[in-house]
Structure 1
Amino acid sequence: MSNHDPHQPIVLGDEPEGIRRDLQQHSKTNFMRCLQCRACSSGCPVYFAMDLGPNRIIRLLQLGQFEQAMQNSTIWICVGCDTCSSNCPMAIDIPAVMDVLRQYALDMNASIPTPDIIGLHNEILASIERYGRTHKLEIMLRYKVKNKPWFEDMDIGIKMLSKRKLHLFPSKVKTTEDIREIFRTAKPISWPSEKRHEHI
């Protein structure tokens, strides 16, 4: 959970302009254009589970509060469904911003409010690398083997199986080798600003 008290004012950050420039360069979107109309948060299907809505994460970035944005659970809960971007009158690619913030948080060893979520993200990526798409049942089982929450949501899993939302066997794309090549050749983000923002 976020450490920020919503009843306290947000103080302008003193981080260098370089961090903001890096985030905008790698997300390929200008979040400074955000009008704070809240269309993104009002349409977000997982808003109820977030510490802060997408619009408030964008506002933190505008104010230079990069560390607070990175240490918030919202960037990890975002599922990248693009509902927010579709609603945005300024066409800001908010999921891209969230994705870069996640990479930035890992790169800078920022405090992550829900550490187990990294394991879930890794299992999703591993499934895509193996099959070219996600095999949800396998992802869930692998995650539970590592984290041991065996019976936490078994009722939901049974309902999903009964409605054929979970498949027992994975389906593969025809070009799985091409997908694996993408993973092999993928390089981490290279932050151009000096000293990789060591103060974060």
Structure 2
Amino acid sequence: MRDDRTIRRCDAAFTQSVQQQSEQNMALCYQCGNCTAGCPVARASSTPVTQVMRLVQAGQREAALGADSIWLCASCETCTTRCPNDIDVARVMDVLRHMARRENHVAEKNIRDFWDAFLESVEKHGRVYEVGLMAAYVRKTGRFWTDADLAPAALGKGKLPLRPHPVTDKEAIRQIFRRYRERSA
């Protein structure tokens, strides 16, 4: 049986860590709801952005890192633009996603698999190679026929090039990933 005091305990170190990594003052959020009201993926999420911000303020590590909205976030920055206190909410969501990834919290496995495939594509090619991205996503999820009906139309319009786009300085991209891994270790 779980002790309710454990669930409600404030992890101040978690809040401090999110603030430090995002360079945002979480105390400035007064729960106006503008971030959630403008969020294009709010309807798909069971945990609104406003609630995620409150969970961070309250030091609720497990609940915040387990929120599906950190994986559903499109990083469009609408929440950031709408915040009356100039909190970069999208950056906070990004930090939470990275923390969840490092701690293996997976609220939305297929979305995490898509993010992983996306980042692998950028690391390997310097930018997204759409066909390779989809192949990696299918390999990770086993969803072989997902959206397969869209491929002929996309190929016909030249939206799915069969070769990656050339990038002049792939080494600079690799260095970015190296620095990220060093900082995450």
What band does the TM-score fall into relative to the shorter chain? 0.7 to 0.9
Alpha-carbon distance in structure 2 between the residues aligned to 1:161 and 1:84? 34
- The one of 81, 92, 100 equivalent to 1:97 is 92
TM-superposed deviation, 1:104: 1.8
- The one of 66, 72, 79 equivalent to 2:67 is 72
Equivalent residue, structure 2, for 1:147: 141
Q: Are the counterparts in 2 of residues 84 and 94 from structure 1 also a CA contact under 8 Å?
A: yes
**Which piece of structure 1 moves more, 165-174 or 128-137?**
165-174
Q: Deviations over 1:107-142 (max 9, x none)?
A: 3343x2222333222111111112222223321121
RMSD: 2.4
TM-superposed deviation, 1:165: 4.4
Equivalent residue, structure 2, for 1:196: none
Pick 1 or 2: higher relative contact order, CA cutoff 8 A, min separation 6. 1
More helix by share: 2
Moved over 4 A (4+): 156-165
Alpha-carbon distance in structure 2 between the residues aligned to 1:119 and 1:70? 17
**Which piece of structure 1 moves more, 20-29 or 113-122?**
113-122
Q: Are the counterparts in 1 of residues 48 and 69 from structure 2 also a CA contact under 8 Å?
A: yes
Residue 153 to residue 169, structure 1, CA distance change in 2 (3 Å):
same
Give, as a single letter, the amino acid of the residue that structure 2 aligns with 1:80: S
1:87 aligns with 2:82: yes
1:47 aligns with 2:42: yes
1:133 aligns with 2:135: no
| TM-score, L = length of structure 2 | 0.83
- The one of 2, 8, 13 equivalent to 1:18 is 13
Equivalent residue, structure 1, for 2:177: 183
1:122 aligns with 2:116: yes
Residue 176 to residue 85, structure 1, CA distance change in 2 (3 Å):
same
Q: Are the counterparts in 2 of residues 12 and 63 from structure 1 also a CA contact under 8 Å?
A: no
Equivalent pairs, count: 179
